[in-house]
Every structure is written in C-alpha cells, then in structure tokens.
C-alpha cells in the first residue's frame, strides 16, 4: 500500500500550517509593501502631473505675458515713431517758415533800401535842379523885376472873383492888424501905391497894409490874411513844378505800389 493514512493526515496538517505561515510571513508583508509602494508611485505621479499642469500654466502665462509685452512694445514703438515723425514735420515746417520769413524780411529790407536810395537820388536831383533854378532866378531878380511883379500882382488882385474874392473880403474885413504884403525885395513906393489902390478898389474899402521882405520867395509878392492868400512868386511856380516832377517820379517807379507812391507824394509835399 503506497498510501500511509497517518502520513496523509500529517501532511494535510503540515500543508495547512504552511499555508498559514506563508500568509503570515510572505504574502501579507510582500503585498503590503507592494501596495504601499504603488500608493507612493501613484502619489508621485499625481504630484508630477500636478507639477506638469502647473508648469504648463506657467508657460502659458509666460507666453501670454510675452505676447502682451511684444504688442505693447510694438505699440509704443509705432507711437514714438509717429510722434518723432510729427515732431520732425513740425520742426521742418517751422524752419521753413523761419527761412521764408527771413528771406521775406531780407527782400523787404532790400526793397526798402532800394526805395530809400531811389527816393534819396530823386530828391537830391530835384533839390539840385530847384537850387539851380532858384539861384538863376534870384540872380535875375532886381528892382525892375519887382515893379513887373507889382503889376502882375495888381492884375491878379483885380482879376479875383467868386468864392476866392468873397473869402478874402471876409478875411480882410475881420482882420484886426494891418494885412502883410511880403516880397523878396523891398518894394519901391510905386508898386506899393498900385497894390494899395488895387486892394481898395477891389474890395471897396480902405485896407491898411504892412510891407515886409521875404528872401525865400526868390521873386514875387504875397498877400496873406486870415488863412487866405493871394500870391504871385517864382517860388510858387517852382513848388508847382516840384509837385509835378514828384508826380512824374511816382508814376515812373510803379503804378501798383500804392504805399511807395504815398511815400513819394508825402515827400513831394514836404518839399
């Protein structure tokens, strides 16, 4: 008999004891260790996943900030460029304006200088001409000439009419002092009497006269009373001639330049 039933029983018990021993000393500790380790690994994996997610978030945040920074920088750069361009345009415009103003000022200065020079030359010429004429006429003037002048003046007095005569009559009537008759040379008694007579006849009144000499008249006689004047003199002719010459000069230098014409007119009147 190959089966020994006592041994069978003993082996069953042995086997059961071995099962318990193995459970107690092998399976349980090993499985516990494995479980603990798996939990540890799972925790570490979860931790790693969390860190990865965090890193991804940080990366996204960084990229977003980077993009925003780039955008802002580009915006600032373009703004600065635009501002610099505008400033440049402004500066160039200002410089151009300043240059234009300077050029205009210079041109104006040149023109006024030219005008002044021109005017000076004209005035000098006219003065020279008139000085020569005055000198020539002054040299020619004499007693006989004074008599002729007295005749002419008398004729003119007698020829007065209209508002001129009325105005002079009023002036003579209201005059308190003797009316002054001025001449370049001392008038002889003849012409004085002729003038007194002509006045008396013309205005039908006895008019007191006072005779005086005025060399600036060059040659001629002048009666002035209360702002009214009757005169014949070479100076008047010369003044008239001078005005005519001034008018001619003004026309010659340019019809369009009104201001300049006005200036010349004033100059002519001043002479």
Partner 1 sequence: MRLTPDEIIFWQYGVVKLNATIVFTWAIMLALTVGAMLITRTLSRDLKRTHWQNLLEIVVTGIVSQIAEVGLSQPRKYLGFLGTLFLFVAAASLCTVIPGYEPPTGSLSTTTALALCVFVAVPFFGIVEQGLGAYITSYIEPTFIMLPFNIISEISRTLALAVRLFGNMMSGAMIIAILLTITPLVFPIIMTALGLLTGMVQAYIFSILAGVYIAAATRVSAPKRAGEG
Q: Which residues are near partner 1 by CB under 8 A?
A: 2-12, 14-23, 25-27, 29-34, 36-37, 40-41
Residue closer to partner 1, measured from CB, 14 or 107: 14
Residue closer to partner 1, measured from CB, 2 or 189: 2
CB of 45 to partner 1, least distance (A): 12
CB of 10 to partner 1, least distance (A): 5
Q: Are 248 and 191 in contact (CB under 8 A)?
A: no
Residue closer to partner 1, measured from CB, 32 or 127: 32
Contacts of 266 (CB under 8 A, 6+ apart): none
Sheet holding 228-233, edge to edge: 209-213, 179-183, 220-225, 228-233
Phi, psi of 184, deg, nearest 5? -70, -35
Residue closer to partner 1, measured from CB, 48 or 103: 48
Q: Are 206 and 200 in contact (CB under 8 A)?
A: yes
Residue closer to partner 1, measured from CB, 35 or 101: 35
CB of 21 to partner 1, least distance (A): 5
What is the C-alpha separation between 213 and 5, in angstroms, rounded? 192
How many alpha carbons lie under 13 Å from residue 12 in its C-beta half-sphere?
5
How many alpha carbons lie under 13 Å from residue 238 in its C-beta half-sphere?
22
CB of 54 to partner 1, least distance (A): 23
Which secondary-structure segment (H or E) carries 232? Answer: strand 228-233
CB of 9 to partner 1, least distance (A): 7
Residue closer to partner 1, measured from CB, 30 or 131: 30
Contacts of 239 (CB under 8 A, 6+ apart): 271
CB of 55 to partner 1, least distance (A): 23
């Amino acid at each position: 008999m190959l089966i020994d039933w006592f041994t069978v029983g003993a082996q069953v018990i042995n086997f059961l004891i071995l099962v318990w021993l193995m459970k107690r000393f092998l399976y349980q500790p090993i499985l516990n260790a494995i479980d603990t380790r798996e939990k540890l690994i799972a925790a570490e994996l979860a931790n790693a996943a969390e860190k990865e997610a965090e890193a991804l978030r940080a990366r996204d945040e960084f990229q977003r900030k980077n993009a925003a920074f780039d955008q802002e920088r580009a915006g600032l750069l373009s703004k600065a460029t635009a501002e610099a361009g505008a400033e440049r345009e402004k500066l160039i415009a200002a410089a151009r304006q300043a240059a234009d103003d300077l050029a205009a000022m210079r041109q104006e200065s040149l023109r006024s200088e030219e005008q002044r020079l021109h005017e000076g030359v004209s005035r000098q010429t006219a003065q020279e001409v008139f000085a020569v004429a005055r000198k020539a006429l002054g040299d020619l003037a004499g007693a006989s000439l004074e008599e002729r002048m007295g005749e002419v003046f008398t004729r003119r007095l007698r020829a007065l009419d209209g508002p001129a005569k009325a105005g002079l009559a009023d002036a003579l009537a209201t005059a308190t002092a003797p009316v002054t008759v001025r001449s370049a040379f001392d008038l002889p008694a003849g012409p004085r009497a002729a003038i007194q007579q002509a006045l008396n006849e013309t205005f039908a009144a006895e008019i007191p006269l006072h005779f005086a000499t005025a060399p600036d008249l060059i040659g001629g006689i002048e009666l002035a009373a209360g702002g009214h004047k009757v005169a014949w003199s070479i100076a008047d002719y010369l003044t008239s001639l001078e005005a005519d010459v001034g008018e001619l000069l003004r026309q010659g230098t340019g019809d369009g330049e009104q201001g300049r014409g006005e200036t010349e007119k004033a100059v002519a009147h001043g002479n």
